[in-house]
Structure 1
Amino acid sequence: MSKFRKVVPISGLVAALASMGAHAQGSITLYGIADSALLFTNKSLDAQTGGNAGKRFALVDSGLSPSQFGLTGTEDLGAGLKAKFKLESGISMVNGGFNDSNGNLFGRQAWLALSGTFGELKAGLQFSPFFTAIHATDTRGYSNFVSGLVTYADNVFVTGAFNANAVSYTSPELAGFQGSAMLALGGQAGDFQAGRQYSASLQYHNGPLLVDAGFYDGNAGGTAQTPVPSTQAFVGRMIGISYSFGTVTASAAVVNYKVSNSFNDYVYSAGLRYQVAPQLALDSGIYVTVDRNDHANRSVMGAFGAQYFLSKRTTLYGQVGVVDNHGRMNTGLTVNGALFGVSGTTVGSNVGIRHLF
Structure 2
Amino acid sequence: MKGKVLLSALLGLYAGVSWAQGSVTLYGILDEGLLFNDNAAGHRQYAMVASVLSGNRFGLRGSEDLGGGLQAVFVLENGFDINTGKLGQGGLMFGRQAWVGVSNARWGSVTLGRQYDASIDYVGPLAAPSQWGGYIVTNPGDIENYSAANHLNNSIKYKSASFAGLTFGGVYSLGGVAGDFTQNQIISVGASYANGWIAIGTSYLNARNPNASYYATSLPNATAATNNFYTPVNSGYASAHTLQMVNVALAWTLGQATLGMNYSNSQFKGLSGQAGVLNPAGLKGDAAFNNVALNLRYRVSPELLLGGQASYSHGSAVAGEPGGKYGQFDLGALYSLSKRTDLYATAVYQVASGTQSTGTRAVASIFGLTPSSSNRQAALRLAIRHVF
Both proteins in one fold, TM over 0.5: yes
Aligned to 1:60: 49
Aligned to 2:307: 283
2:95 maps to 1:107? yes
Aligned to 1:176: 165
Whole-angstrom CA distance in 2 between matches of 1:312 and 1:102: 32
* Preserved contact between residue 128 and residue 160 of structure 1 (Cα < 8 Å): no
2:288 maps to 1:299? no
Moved more, 213-222 or 79-88: 213-222
Aligned residue runs from structure 1 range 108-187, under 5 A: 108-116=96-104, 117-141=106-130, 143-148=133-138, 151=140, 153=142, 161-187=150-176
Whole-angstrom CA distance in 2 between matches of 1:314 and 1:156: 26
Q: 1:68 and 1:19, CA in 2 relative to 1: closer, same or farther beyond 3 A? A: closer
* Preserved contact between residue 96 and residue 151 of structure 2 (Cα < 8 Å): yes
Flag the structure with higher helix content.
2
* Preserved contact between residue 26 and residue 76 of structure 1 (Cα < 8 Å): yes
Question: After superposition, what is the alpha-carbon deviation per residue over 1:235-284, rounded to whole angstroms, capped at 9, x for unaligned?
Answer: 11011101111221111010122123263111101111111111111111
Whole-angstrom CA distance in 2 between matches of 1:20 and 1:91: 34
Q: The residue matched to 1:141 in structure 2 has which SS?
A: helix
Question: 2, 19, 22: which is aligned to 1:26?
Answer: 22
Aligned to 1:319: 346
Aligned to 1:93: 82
Q: TM-score when scaled to structure 1?
A: 0.85
Give 1:21 deviation, angstroms.
9.7
Aligned to 2:383: 352
Whole-angstrom CA distance in 2 between matches of 1:235 and 1:159: 17
Greater Cα radius of gyration, structure 1 or 2: 2
2:255 maps to 1:246? yes
Whole-angstrom CA distance in 1 between matches of 2:70 and 2:381: 45
Aligned to 1:274: 298
Q: TM-score when scaled to structure 2?
A: 0.78
* Preserved contact between residue 129 and residue 181 of structure 1 (Cα < 8 Å): yes
Q: 1:249 and 1:166, CA in 2 relative to 1: closer, same or farther beyond 3 A? A: same
Q: 1:331 and 1:213, CA in 2 relative to 1: closer, same or farther beyond 3 A? A: farther
Give 1:292 deviation, angstroms.
2.4
Aligned to 2:207: 218
Aligned to 1:10: none
Letter of the 2:136 counterpart: V
Whole-angstrom CA distance in 2 between matches of 1:218 and 1:138: 22
Letter of the 1:218 counterpart: A
Aligned residue runs from structure 1 range 252-271, under 5 A: 252-260=261-269, 261=271, 263-271=287-295
* Preserved contact between residue 146 and residue 302 of structure 1 (Cα < 8 Å): no
Letter of the 1:279 counterpart: E
Give 1:351 deviation, angstroms.
0.5
Whole-angstrom CA distance in 1 between matches of 2:166 and 2:157: 17
Q: The residue matched to 1:354 in structure 2 has which SS?
A: strand
Give 1:188 deviation, angstroms.
0.8
Question: After superposition, what is the alpha-carbon deviation per residue over 1:175-215, rounded to whole angstroms, capped at 9, x for unaligned?
Answer: 43221111100001111111100000011221121111100
* Preserved contact between residue 104 and residue 226 of structure 1 (Cα < 8 Å): no
Give 1:293 deviation, angstroms.
2.9
* Preserved contact between residue 177 and residue 203 of structure 1 (Cα < 8 Å): yes
Letter of the 2:260 counterpart: S
Q: 1:271 and 1:323, CA in 2 relative to 1: closer, same or farther beyond 3 A? A: same
Count of matched residue positions in the alignment of Structure 1 and Structure 2: 334
Give 1:155 deviation, angstroms.
7.4
CA RMSD of aligned residues (A): 2.8
